[in-house]
Amino acid sequence: MNDPFWLIAIKGTLLFVVLVLLVLFSIWFERRVVAVMQVRPGPNRNGPFGLLQSLADGLKLAFKEDTTPRTADRWVYLLAPVIAVTCAFTAFAVIPFGPEVTMFGRETMLQLTDFEVSVLLVLATSALGVYGLVLAGWSSGSSYSLLGSLRAAAQVISYEIALALAVLAVFFQSQLMSTGAIVEAQAEPVDMNFFGAEVALPGWYFLVLFPSFVIFVIAMVGETNRAPFDLPEAESELVSGFATEYSSLKYASFFLAEYVNMVAMSALCVTLFLGGWAAPFPDSWWPAANEGWLPLVWFFGKVIAFMFVYVWLRGTLPRFRYDQFMRLGWKVLVPASLIWILALAAINLGIVAEEQSTRIALIGGALVLVVAAFMFWPSRKPYEPPAEPDAGLGGYPVPPLDLSVPPNPRSLTELEQRDPTPAVEGKEED
């Protein structure tokens, strides 16, 4: 990338504007799709078809009162949303949006920057973004916020491993770690024979790495704290999770970071598994489909399709319990990823092996490993009723009825804060 500084600044500004507009569209798109699923109108007042509803909500949050809790660590409290938003936007620096085009008289790629291990930058920024959530919960001085931030940290650590293992399969297959190079590696068509007819299909990795594709899609939903994995923001238990004590623009910043992370994970999935900005058909059908600015249409069309998957899951699936969520990450996705990587390595070695017997042994062993793992996968134990009468609800423990919750420190008077012990009856107070 030998672009001059002024062209890099223009591309960075355009990228920021496009992402903000895409976030506004995503919020409107989510509300409209869920409204159709639930047979109700959805936003339809502000602007044509309600397109300006997201902008109206952003302005409403901007003009709300900006408060800071008295018990908060002020500087960390202010820094937390900045970290979350910065990490979310940084991930797009290495996402290729299209091929080389002419911009202001200079030939440049529709990508801000690229280097040999650019995929690792996206994984690193998505992992560092959780620091904003953890610091937000810790600095707020609220138990609900702290619990939400701890949930977010455990969630990202759990699903980041499965996500990285799915990306590792792409590294094995392409032997590349650059986002632009991975897109170019998927440009070669694959000839398939269907009922005697030769059909050229795009050489996208989701065809040959379908298990990794499925694991990546599940892990990216958990990585972005979206339903049915939105445990850090569980309203029924934690009010609003790590963002409970935030208001105004600081509160809106966390939602901005969440939606930008959704778009970033969708763009990364498109780049790694769906050919990036390439058209969803061979070049022989339309030779000019992958030239000029037209690939932007294919790229953002694929990203919006993944955004629909996010909305579809939110509108159809209930929230998981925390134990179910962790069991899926640690006992299903991570072991399945490891088994698939071992099988993929054996298959690749078998394909390049010179001797026929070695090739058959490696490929056959890989298939046997996958089938055996599928057949003998440990299942959950059936529910056994307790020997003693159930004192909880449906077998799950509940807090005792005489549980006393301590008062909020911010609601106490100054005298009660200095001496929290209750006064003894009959004793005169100073």
**Total-model pTM:** 0.83
pLDDT at 45: 87
Among 309, 261, 293, which Cα is nearest to 97's? 293
Tell me which residues of the chain have a pLDDT lower than 50: 423-430
Q: Which residue has the tokens 């594709």?
A: 213
Residue 107 sits at φ, ψ, to 5 deg, of -80, 125
109 vs 11: CA distance, rounded Å:
10
H/E stretch holding 269 reads helix 248-273
pLDDT at 429: 47
CB count in 10 Å sphere of residue 69: 19
Percentages helix, strand, coil for the chain (3-state, rounded to 5) are 60, 5, 35
Give residue 81's identity as a one-letter amino acid code.
P
pLDDT at 86: 92
326 vs 150: CA distance, rounded Å:
13
95 vs 89: CA distance, rounded Å:
11
Among 70, 233, 72, 244, which Cα is nearest to 141's? 72
The torsion of the CA quartet 89, 90, 91, 94, rounded to 10 degrees, works out to 120
- Cβ–Cβ < 8 Å for 162, 334: yes
CB count in 10 Å sphere of residue 143: 14
Please calculate the CA angle 300-262-119 and round it to the nearest 5 degrees.
80
**DSSP-based three-state secondary structure for 69:** coil
> Could you say which DSSP state residue 107 is in?
E
- Cβ–Cβ < 8 Å for 76, 139: yes
pLDDT at 104: 84
Among 123, 129, 255, which Cα is nearest to 177's? 123
Enter the tokens of residue 69.
Answer: 């809790």
**Which residues sit opposite 194 in a β-bridge?**
197
131 vs 145: CA distance, rounded Å:
14
Report the share of the chain in percent with pLDDT over 70.
78
- pLDDT tens-digit readout, 347-378: 777 766 666 666 667 667 777 777 776 666 66
